[in-house]
Amino acid sequence: MADQRAPTGPVGPIDIRSELRKVERMPRWGRVQGNAWDRASRFIYQVDDLDTLRRETKCTAARMNLPLWDFGCYVIRRWYNFHTHQVALDIILEHARTRSESDSFHHTIDFYLDDESFDLKLTGLPRGFGRALAYARAHPAELAHWLYANQSKQGRFHAANRLFVVLHDAVDPARTWELRRDFDRLEQTLHAFLDRPDPVRVEFTDEHGKRHQPLAGVVFCTRET
């Protein structure tokens, strides 16, 4: 399936995968992700190319009196993470056992696998987990439990079924972010899981003491040589 978004002008549709490959480095967030700058950078959802993204970032920073460098770092991370997530979701939906959620704004469902709903989450192997990759591979339920228990709170918290795609570059951990756009590797990894899915049942208690028991798929997309 060609991964092209809607036309953005007279030049025709943009190949989002090519645009994502143009990102040369990934800056730090620089601040905790929050609602104010999320609202200011909503344009990331409609922008498919880097040149337009840069123009929109500069215009918004000037209009809202935001620090251009810090806001620019924030914008590129949000844009990159959102669009690589969407490409990964497209790859999942190419598989015969999956179907899409009709509401593209649904908070907790991205797709259905054999009629079981799942949210898609791409994440690096968390440092806070405190275990090496080999241990995480051998104990996916423990890792999934950690990810649920330590996820963002407030509006980003939910306890629905999730497919965690755990990214890790063992050769150079600082380049783990690049695995989000290693689309061939993602396709191979995701389709292998979807061919023979083996989600685990996770039990955890949220900050309000409520017990949850979601299903979690854990897929490792790694570079080790």
| 3-class SS string, the chain | CCCECCCCCCCCCCEHHHHHHCCCCCCCCCCCCCHHHHHHCHHHHCCCCHHHHHHHHHHHHHHHCCCHHHHHHHHHHHHHHHHHHHHHHHHHHCCCCEEECCCCCCCCCCEEECCEEEEEEEEECCHHHCCCHHHHHHCHHHHHHHHHHCCCCHHHCCCCCEEEEEEEECCCHHHHHHHHHCHHHHHHHHHHHHHCCCCEECCEECCCCCEECCEEEEEEEEECC
Both structure tokens of 216: 């979690």
d(CA 195, CA 198): 10
pTM: 0.90
Give the residue from 138, 68, 115 showing the smallest Cα distance to 215. 115
* Beta strands 111-113; 116-124: pairing state: antiparallel
Distances (CA, A) of 147 to 74, 77, 166: 23, 20, 10
* Per-position pLDDT tens, the chain of length 225: 334 444 444 456 789 999 999 999 999 888 888 889 999 999 999 999 999 999 999 999 999 999 999 999 999 999 999 999 999 999 999 999 999 999 988 999 999 999 999 999 999 999 999 999 999 999 999 999 999 988 766 556 788 999 999 999 999 999 999 999 999 999 999 999 999 999 999 998 888 888 999 999 999 999 998
Distances (CA, A) of 33 to 5, 29, 103, 118: 26, 8, 25, 24
pLDDT of residue 155: 54
